[in-house]
Amino acid sequence: MKTVEVELPGRAGDLDGLPGIAFSQAPLPRTTKAESALAAVLRPGVPYEWQYVATRENEVPADVLRAAGAIKIAIVDTGVDVRQPDLAAKAPETWDVVHRRASAPDRDGHGTFVAALAAGSVTNDEGIAGFGGDAQLLMVRAIGPSDSFSDVDEAAAIVYAVDHGAKVVNLSIGGVGASQLEQRAIEYAASHDVLLVAAAGNEYDSGNPIEYPAAALQPPGSNGQGGVGLSVAASTMAGTRADFSNTGSQISLAAPGENVFSAIAVAGAAALVWAANPALTAQQVAAILKSTASGNGRWSPRLGYGVIDVAAAVAAARGEPIAPRLRAGSSLSLQRVGSRRIHASGRGGHGPIRALRLAVHLRTSAPVVTPDYRTVTLQMRRHGRWHRLARTSTARGGEIRWTVSLRPGRYVMRAVYRGRWDLHAAIRLKPVRVR
């Protein structure tokens, strides 16, 4: 596919129909999709590594991480600083499609960070370990002289990546307005069995616009089905939609985007799925990532098919049983408070009412995730069903203390936290007899 960008005195459409002209259009602007400030990633007490636990990247077998060395991830962005230790260890390929040269310096920083998240070395103990394991890295700089993107340069970058062996292409860029040239480049990638992954956008508070190229990969109205690539929303540490993340029928799935970038997490995950089973097609890789995400096959306009589960996707690609995602729970300890009688005016029944103190402690399986300020429900078993007694948020340290008034008798209670990946999956039931 060959394109030419020229300046015309008239409208671009005036060229349509001339010999040798397939179509013409004015260039459309594209911008980087920085979900949040890079400086926030390394703020004290909130390491970026939480995303690996959130997506179960940390449970991917080591042999799959190594096998990803046969897969090349291309990143279309602002360039790359190859001096960064975690990237230097990978010796990434680079190309600048605007200036047509091998050097692709990054004056913005966005491209370098995305590259590190995609395929930073996992063995050099420096910088960031990437989502793509040992995947190869091709960095394609597509930013123009005025530090801006256009669909023209984006399309050229996609074609270059395809022609130079990329199996996955990450596009953490976007803008409003569909582009014929962009569409042609996407079709070119699809015809070569290359999977494109794009950020769905972070302009929810600015009208929630439909953004391209993401909407060209997962068309509006598709409700996450089909498509020729993946449109990625951003999720939080709690597994919910990040408040800045765009929503709509063009969302495929989601990945952590709170203090990190979401699309590149999916690109890296795709490389690992392909490493687990090189015989898969691009569409099969996309389908596996959707079907194994946290939505369990259900789609929503906020998170698509849910937050990616890399361990489950890799297992599915290998045809292995999928280990269940840990569901959050709580441990429940009950302590009777003496035999102090409580004033029972207006109450029926027999015997004195007693005060029972209950202590609930939440435990976290991820060191970077706090059990503080989590909502826990206290329930009691009656007539074969669980009934809610109280609902409270944990204090610092993950503790709640309740005092419950009960008449003499035998009771079964539990504390329930219906969270996600960050808490243990054990709930203890303990019969309690009040005398």
Give the model's pLDDT for residue 259: 56
- What is the mean pLDDT of the segment spanning 388-402? 83
- Ramachandran assignment for 182, one of left (phi > 0), alpha (psi -120 to 50 degrees), beta (any other): alpha
pLDDT class of 119 with cuts at 50, 70, 90: low
Indicate if the alpha-carbon torsion angle 123, 128, 129, 130 is positive or negative.
negative
Question: What pTM does this model have?
Answer: 0.71
SS3 307: strand
What backbone phi and psi angles, to 5 degrees, belong to 351? Answer: 85, 160
Please say if the pLDDT value at position 73 is more than 70: yes
Q: Which two tokens stand for residue 379?
A: 């329930």
Give the model's pLDDT for residue 351: 57
Give the model's pLDDT for residue 322: 78
- What is the mean pLDDT of the segment spanning 152-169? 97
pLDDT class of 352 with cuts at 50, 70, 90: low
Give the model's pLDDT for residue 160: 97
- Alpha-carbon gap, residue 109 to 275, rounded angstroms: 29
Are the beta carbons of 241 and 202 closer than 8 angstroms?
no
Q: Which two tokens stand for residue 63?
A: 């042999």
Report the interhelical angle of 151-163 vs 180-191 (nearest 10°): 10
Please say if the pLDDT value at position 341 is more than 80: no
pLDDT class of 418 with cuts at 50, 70, 90: low
Give the model's pLDDT for residue 336: 45
Structural domains of the chain, ranges and CATH numbers in brackets = 12-318 (3.40.50.200), 331-434 (2.60.40)
Give the model's pLDDT for residue 138: 96
Please say if the pLDDT value at position 129 is more than 70: no
Q: Which two tokens stand for residue 335?
A: 């302590």
Q: Which two tokens stand for residue 194?
A: 């290359």
pLDDT more than 70, % of the chain: 73
Please say if the pLDDT value at position 124 is more than 60: no
pLDDT class of 363 with cuts at 50, 70, 90: low
Q: What is the mean pLDDT of the chain?
A: 79
Q: Which residues pair with 31 in a beta bridge?
A: 174
Cβ-based neighbours of 373, under 8 Å, separated by 6 or more = 393, 394, 395
Q: For residue 362, which of 435, 302, 426 has the smallest C-alpha distance?
A: 426
Q: Which two tokens stand for residue 257?
A: 């985007």
Comparing 292 with 360, the larger pLDDT belongs to: 292
Give the model's pLDDT for residue 328: 45
pLDDT class of 204 with cuts at 50, 70, 90: very high
Give the model's pLDDT for residue 83: 85
